[in-house]
Each structure stands twice: as structure tokens, then as C-alpha cells.
Amino acid sequence: MKTILSLIAALSLSSLLVFGPVNSQQPDIDPVECSGRWIHIRNLPTRFNLDLLTNCSDFPLFDDFCPYLANHGLGQKTHNQTRSWYRTDPFMLELIFHRRMLEYPCLTADPAVASAVFLPYYAGIDSLRYLYGSDVNSSFEHGLDLFQFLKHYDSPQIWGNHQGHDHFLVMARPAWDFSQSVSCDQPIWGTSFLELPEFYNITALILESRTWPWQEQAIPYPTSFHPPNTALFEAWMTRVRQSRRSTLMVFAGGGGSSSSPNIRRSIRLECENSANSSEINDEYSKSCEFIDCSNGVCEHDPIRFMRPMLQSDFCLQPPGDTPTRRSTFDGIIAGCIPVFFEDQSAKTQYTWHLPEDKYNDFSVYIPKEDVVFKGVKILDVLLGIPRDKVRRMRESVLEIIPRVMYRKHGSSPGLKTMKDAFDIAVEGTLQRIKGRLQQVPLH
Ligand SMILES: *[C@@H]1O[C@H](CO)[C@@H](O)[C@H](O)[C@H]1NC(C)=O
Ligand SMILES: *[C@@H]1O[C@H](CO)[C@@H](O)[C@H](O)[C@H]1NC(C)=O
Ligand SMILES: *[C@@H]1O[C@H](CO)[C@@H](O)[C@H](O)[C@H]1NC(C)=O
Ligand SMILES: *[C@@H]1O[C@H](CO)[C@@H](O)[C@H](O)[C@H]1NC(C)=O
Ligand SMILES: *[C@@H]1O[C@H](CO)[C@@H](O)[C@H](O)[C@H]1NC(C)=O
């Protein structure tokens, strides 16, 4: 069963690769519109992408990810009738992005005229054999094979043109998984891909960047919402706008059950306490909902958390193992105002997608130390926000929805005019590379 699923997925993608750019039949590419935006996709052997998918059931410690490959990485539909909702696994962003790149309107076969060069390498999926597989003791080698290929085997001048400064790729995991020091004697965690001098010049689009991002830029985690046309997008927006929000705040996630003080524990306790309190504001029938997603039960089941998020004014987004969460984007898609407890959860990360100067308009910030150690109650802070301010904040959240969603590949022309997370990522990459090339002398 697993093998069959993976083969179906791999085949559908490989047939695309064989046919090349999806829009090659489109008659009129406007040359002015593409000026400064041409992208060349490097031709990589399938061992760097499609072949990696055939081993999708080989990493039991991670997960059997075969089911998530369906629909070019969007995963299976949540139910038969839907056209917008999928059981999307965020780690499949490498496939999703690749598929979208194939329909990018300004592709060029000539690397010499390209402003940027895309590497269709599934870095995160390839990292599994180092993180969870038989190559765990050689994680400093992750990427060396790719570099040899880029630099020496296939048209070396493509790399040589700008010494890699124009190359970019997607790495659909937190940077933490790729930044183990090369000389680390006792491997701790992760591969060394981002620590290799060989890749210092590239731009890596990643789910979470390091504190001092060097070559990487964070882009939104994919959610489960991938509308194919404007009508379905607008239908969802209407539902979000009209949804009755009878819960003040919701948290969907795991953790918080340990006894040592941390923000998730504080949230759990506050939620439990509030369930017993009788003094709930007339506005809300429930002050807090705690959706227990321990053991990954919510991961491919968006209905578990999307409905409560639609019914809630605020979504709590505390850090967990790492500062960022996919849930931040699920909440935004549901029109639920995010509550952050540290800047690394979004503000210092998604600088291309979430406007840094508007955080006060679309989100609430409560320092985690205030909650954990100073007795600040999240409920009190949120109940203290005037109703009309809450309404205005929700409008700001609604404006952001298109920027953080990944619309479905092959969307209608109408929906394509609205910039989504992919479009903004490509735009940011082009600008960043342009800036770089102005600093680096030509070879
Ligand atoms: C897939 O797994 C097989 C058997 O473990 C291995 O020989 C092969 O190299 C793997 N393929 C890739 C692309 O990692
Ligand atoms: C969904 O569609 C598939 C194939 O058409 C069918 O086998 C399956 O029973 C359907 N599931 C539901 C819940 O209707
Ligand atoms: C990795 O190295 C450790 C320590 O030397 C060893 O115990 C373990 O068996 C090695 N794992 C593999 C898969 O080679
Ligand atoms: C990265 O760029 C610098 C110049 O900015 C160059 O000296 C170096 O060789 C490049 N690295 C690689 C691996 O190409
Ligand atoms: C809340 O009430 C439940 C039963 O109604 C009780 O078991 C629980 O201990 C109470 N929690 C607090 C924090 O008072």
C-alpha cells in the first residue's frame, strides 16, 4: 500500500518534470513584466529529488510520509467533496514549491539571462537519512554530493557565473536541523548543510531561521488550505468574516504537562482554571479552549483545530521545541488573532510575509516571562482589549490571509493575480539575490 501510494505521487510529479514548465504553451509572456524576474531551474539528477520519495516509508522513527506526497505534496483531501482542504504536512513544502516553480511565468532555459537559479533539491527529505537513518554518523556530509554536482559535473559555469550567489532552494524544516557545526565531535542533532562553506553563498528558504540568519530566510509553514480559484477563496473569507466567535482564546498543541515552569504549562493551567470560573464576559460562552494535540494527533487532521480557531477571537502561539509553529498560520487562515510570547516566533522570522511594522495591528504580544514568572494572566490581557480594537485587529488578520496561504498549483487566472506565500517568497528571493550580486564582483 505504502509503495503504491508513493509511486503514484512520484509518477505524477515525474510526468510533470518530463513535460517541463507547465505554462510552456502559454502564448504571451510579457517580456517587460519578466525583466529582472527570470528564473532558471537547474537540471538535477533524480537522486536529488524524485528518487528520495520512493523511500518514503523507510524512516519509521520519523513517520511514513508516503500519504503526504499526494497531490504534489499537498497531501490527500480532507474529505471527498472539498476542493480547498488537504491533509498537508509542512515538511512537504519542498514538493509544493517545486510544483509551483514549474508554473512560474518567467522561467528561462538560459541560465545566462536568469536573475536567479532555483535548485529543485529536496533538502529536508534528503536529511532524513542523516537525522533518523543509517547515515546518522556522517551528517557533516549532507550536501557535499550536491555541491560536487553543481560545481564540477553539470555545466560548471552556471555555478561559476556568480559563485552560487544567485542560487536558491527550499529547506522545509527549521534551520536548527541543518546547522550542526561541521567539527562537532559528538554529533548532537542535525546535519551541517548550512554550516558548509560550500553553501554560504546560496539563499535557503526555510521554515524557521536561526537567531542570526546568514544564508536563510524563513517563509510560512504551509497550512491545509489550498484554494484553486477565487470563488472558493472568497467563500472561505466570507465564512471567516461571519463566524461567531464565542470562545475568547484557544490553544492547539502539545506539551505543558511537565511540572517545570514554562509558557505551555502556564497556558494549560490558566485554561483549566478558567473552565471552573463563573465570571466569564457576556461576550463569550467559553474563555479558553485547550485542544490537546499531543503525539501529533492533530497534524494531518485540520478539522480538529480549524473549527475551534474559527470560533475563537485569539489563538495562543507559544514556543515549543523551537520558537515557530505551523499553528500561527492555521490560526491566521481562520481569522484568529495570534498571541505571541516571544519575537522569534514570527516577528524576527517572516519578515517578507508579515509586515514588521504592523504587528500591533494584527497580533498581541505578551512576554513569556511575564506570564510564567510575574503572574500576568493572559485572559486579563485579552479581556482588556476593547471590542472595537478586536474587530479592527481581525480585519488586519483577514488582510494577511492571502500572503500566508499557498494556493493550489494550477489555480484559476483570477486567483493568480493575488500574491500568495509562494509569490512573495519568490519576489523576496529575487530582491535579495539582486542585492547580493551588486556587492559581488562578476567572474
Ligand atoms: C532508498 O533505499 C534503498 C534501500 O535502503 C537505498 O539503496 C537507496 O539508495 C535509497 N534511495 C535514496 C534515493 O536514498
Ligand atoms: C471517496 O471517494 C472514493 C473514490 O471515489 C471512494 O472510494 C470513497 O468511499 C469515498 N469516501 C467517502 C467518505 O465518501
Ligand atoms: C553511530 O555512532 C555511534 C557511536 O560511535 C554508534 O554507537 C552507532 O552504532 C553509530 N550508528 C550507526 C548507524 O552507524
Ligand atoms: C562564495 O562567494 C565568494 C565571493 O563573494 C567566493 O570567494 C567564494 O568562492 C564563493 N563560494 C563558493 C563555494 O563558490
Ligand atoms: C476544576 O473543576 C474540576 C471538576 O469540576 C476539578 O477536578 C478541578 O480540580 C478544578 N480545577 C481547578 C484548578 O480548580
278 in ligand 5 pocket by Cβ < 6 Å? no
Q: Which residues pair with 339 in a beta bridge?
A: 316, 364
d(CA 276, ligand 5 centre) in Å: 6
Closest CA to 147 of 166, 183, 116, 119: 119
Q: Taken in order 145, 146, 151, 154, is the CA torsion positive or negative?
A: positive
Q: Which residue has the cell 485542544?
A: 291
Question: Strand pairing of 116-118 and 167-174?
Answer: parallel
- The ligand minimizing its distance to the Cα of 129 is 1
**DSSP string over 399-420:** HHHHHH--PPTT--HHHHTS--
Q: Residue 280, exposed/middle/buried by CB under 10 A (0-12, 13-18, 19+)?
A: middle
Return the best residue to mutate from 152, 201, 203, 436 for the ligand 4 pocket (most ligand atoms within 8 A of CB): 201
Rounded Cα distance, 217 and 421, in Å: 13
pLDDT at 29: 55
Nearest atom in ligand 4 to the alpha carbon of residue 197 is 13
User: For the chain, which domains are there?
Assistant: 2-223+407-439 (no CATH), 236-404 (3.40.50)
pLDDT at 283: 83
pLDDT at 19: 37
Following CA atoms 416, 418, 424, 425 in sequence, which dihedral angle do they give, to the nearest 10 degrees? -30
Which tens digits make up the pLDDT trace of 139-189?
999 999 999 999 988 788 999 999 999 999 999 999 999 999 988 767 788
Separation in Å, CA 58 to CA 53, 133, 134, 159, 252: 10, 8, 10, 33, 29
pLDDT at 30: 58
pTM higher than 0.85: yes
Return the best residue to mutate from 2, 55, 134, 145 for the ligand 1 pocket (most ligand atoms within 8 A of CB): 55
Rounded Cα distance, 102 and 21, in Å: 5
On whether the CB atoms of residues 205 and 429 are closer than 8 A, the answer is: yes
- Ligand 3 pocket by C-beta < 6 Å: which residues? 134, 136-137
pLDDT at 183: 84
Backbone angles phi, psi at 189, to 5 degrees: -160, 140
d(CA 189, ligand 5 centre) in Å: 40
**Orientation of helix 93-101 relative to helix 421-439, angle to 10°:** 80
Nearest atom in ligand 3 to the alpha carbon of residue 133 is 13
pLDDT at 342: 97
51 in ligand 1 pocket by Cβ < 6 Å? yes
163 in ligand 4 pocket by Cβ < 6 Å? yes
Q: Which residues of the chain have pLDDT under 50?
A: 1-11, 15-21, 23-25, 27
d(CA 275, ligand 5 centre) in Å: 8
**Orientation of helix 387-404 relative to helix 230-242, angle to 10°:** 160
pLDDT at 441: 65
Nearest atom in ligand 3 to the alpha carbon of residue 134 is 13
The grid cell for 131 is: 537525522
276 in ligand 5 pocket by Cβ < 6 Å? yes
